[in-house]
Structure 1
Amino acid sequence: MLKKTTLAVLGLAVNGFASAGTMGPVCTPGNVTVPCETKQWDLGVQALYMKVIQSADRAYLHTVAPFDGYGEFKNDWDWGYKLEGSYHFNTGNDITLTWMHYKSDTTQGDFRGFIPFSTLAPPLFTSYTAASENQLDQVNLVMGQHADFGLVKNMRFYGGLQYANIRSDITHLYNQSPAALIPSGITSVSLHDDSDFKGVGPVIGIDYSYDLTNEFSLTANGAGSILYGSSRVFTGYVGAPVAAVIASWYGSKKTMVPSLEAKLGVNYAYGMAQGTLNIEGGYQVVNYFHALQTFGVESPAANVITTSDFGLYGPYLGLKYVGNV
C-alpha cells in the first residue's frame, strides 16, 4: 500500500513539473472534411450590370486641336448575364460549365481630330463623335472539390479550361470631309480602331463562404487564368456614304494574356422539399491584361501599336437552384 501511495505522489509531482512554465491549454484547429457521397445538380443565372475600363492609350481621345488636350472616353454601364450548370458527385466533387456574356454600346461627342490620309491636301482638323462597342464572352469548364473547414467556413477549389472572346471597336465619326474627296461623293469620313482577342488556357480559382446563420453567408471568389490565342488590330478611314476604304492598317499576332477575377457577395439559401434555392448578390471585377492592340490616342499618324487591358466591374445578382438526383 505504501509503495502504491508513493508512486501516486511521484506521478503527480512529475506531472506538475512538466506543466510548469508552459503556455497553458493548446487550441485544436477545426477538422477539414468533405461532404458525404451524394449526387446533385444545379442551374444558375446571374444579371450583371457592368462597365468597361481600358488602358490610357485606348481610353483617352483628343479634345483640343492640334492635340494639346485630352478627354476620357467614358463607356456606359450596361447589362450582361452569366449562366451556370453543374453536376455534383462523389464526396464533394463537381463538373461545372459557365458562360458569361457582356456587350455595351456608347456614343460620346466633343472630340477633336484630323484626317491625315490624303496626299492631295493637307490634314483636315475637325470635330468628331466617338462611338464604341465592347463585348466579352467567357466560357469555363472546370472540375471542383468542396471542403468544410470547421462548422462555418467552406471552400471550393477548382481548375480547368477557359475560353475568352474579347472585342472592342471605337469609331471616330467626323462631321466633314476633305475638299479633295467631295467630288468622289465622299461627304464624311470615319476612322475605325478595332481590336479583338480569342484565346484558351488553364484557369484555377477558389470559392469561399462563411456561414453567418443557417441561411445567410458571406461569399468570396478569386480566379486567374493564362490564355494563349490571337490578338488582332484594324485601323482605317472609310468614306461615306459610298463606303469606300480610303486607307487601312492591319496587324495580328499570337500572344499570352493573363487574367484575374475577384468577387464579394452575400448569399441567402432557402431550403425546399427537393433542393435549395440560393439568392446571391455582390460586386465583381474582371481584368484581361494586354489583351487588345491599338494605335492609341494619336491614331495611325504615330505609326505605333500599343496594348490595352480590357476590364469589367460592377454589381451582380443571381439565382441558383441545387437539386437532388
Structure 2
Amino acid sequence: MKAIVQDRYGPPEVLEHREVDRPVPGEHDVLVRVRAAAVNAADWHLMRGDPYVARPVLGLRRPKVPVRGRDFAGTVEAVGAAVTGLRPGDEVYGEADGAFAEYVCAPATAVDRKPAGLTFAQAAAIPLAGNTALMGLRDLGRLAPGQSVLVNGASGGVGTFAVQIAKALGAEVTGVCSARNAELVRSLGADRVVDYAREDFTRSGRTYDLVLDLVGNRSLADLRRALVPAGTLVLSGGGVSGGGSLIGPMALLVKGQVLSRFARHRLLVLTAEPRRENLAALRELVESGRVRPVVDRTYPLAEAAEAIRYLEVEHARAKVVLTV
C-alpha cells in the first residue's frame, strides 16, 4: 500500500510517498481502508521532532512510528476476532498512528461509525480535534449551562469544535482569533469574538468561568487574570509555532501542573485519549446539527508534505484534510 513515511526528523521534505506493507489487525483491532485523513499540529511536531525533550518518547534519532497521521475516515476492511459492533463494509472514523496511508490498523476502542450525512473528508476532520475540545470542556472543565467560556485559538482545528461544543453545553462563548477568521467563529455560534491584534483579552477587565487555551503563547499570570476567582483554566499545549525548541509549549503545561497545587483557580492540563464513547458523542452532536466540521483545504495523499507546510506556515483555519 502507499503511505506517507518519515525516516528522519526535519522539514516537510523528509516525508516520502512510498510503498509499505499493509498492517495486519490483531484480535482487538480494526483494519480500515482510509478514504480521508486529517492533518493536525501533532503531525507537524512529530515530523520535526519538536520539542526535543519529547524525543525519548517519539524516537531519539527518527520517529518510532514511521508513517505519519492520526485522524482517519474510511470503510472497515477486516476486524479482529474479539471485535464486536463493527464489520467489513461499515463506514467509520477514528484515531490511530499511521493514518496517512491507504490502510490503517486501529484499536476497536478508538473507532466508531461515521456520522451520517458527512463526507469522508468532513468525518476525518473530527476525531482528534473534536475529542480534545469535548474532553477539555465537558470532562476537565466541567462546563455547565449558563457559564462563560473563552476559547483562545477559536479558529483552529480544536477551537472550531470547542466553540460549537461549548454552545451545545449551554455556555456563553467568547472566541479569540484573527480578524480574518472572526466571521467564521461567529458563524459557529460564538456570542463574542476578540481580535487578538486589537484587544488583549487578559487585560480587558472581562472574566470567565472557564478559559480553554489552545495556543500556548500567553503566560499563566495573563491567563489567570481572565478568570473569575473560582474559575478554571484548561491548557492544551500550543498549536503550530516556531520549531526547533527544546521544550516548546510543554513549558507552559509543566508550569501549570506545578502551580495548580497552590493556586485558587483550577489549573488543568489536558491529555485527550481516543475513546469510542467520545466518538459516539461527537457523532450525535453532528447528526443533531449542533456541531459541524469545517475543512479549510483538501490535498491528495501524495501531497501530504504540502498540506503540512500549509498548516505550518499559513496558519490554516479549522482543518486540513488529505484524501486517499
TM-score, normalised to structure 2, is: 0.18
Higher relative contact order (CA closer than 8 Å, sequence separation 6+)? 2
Task: Kindly indicate which of the two structures has a greater share of residues assigned to helix.
Answer: 2
TM-score, normalised to structure 1, is: 0.18
Task: Kindly indicate which of the two structures has a greater share of residues assigned to strand.
Answer: 1
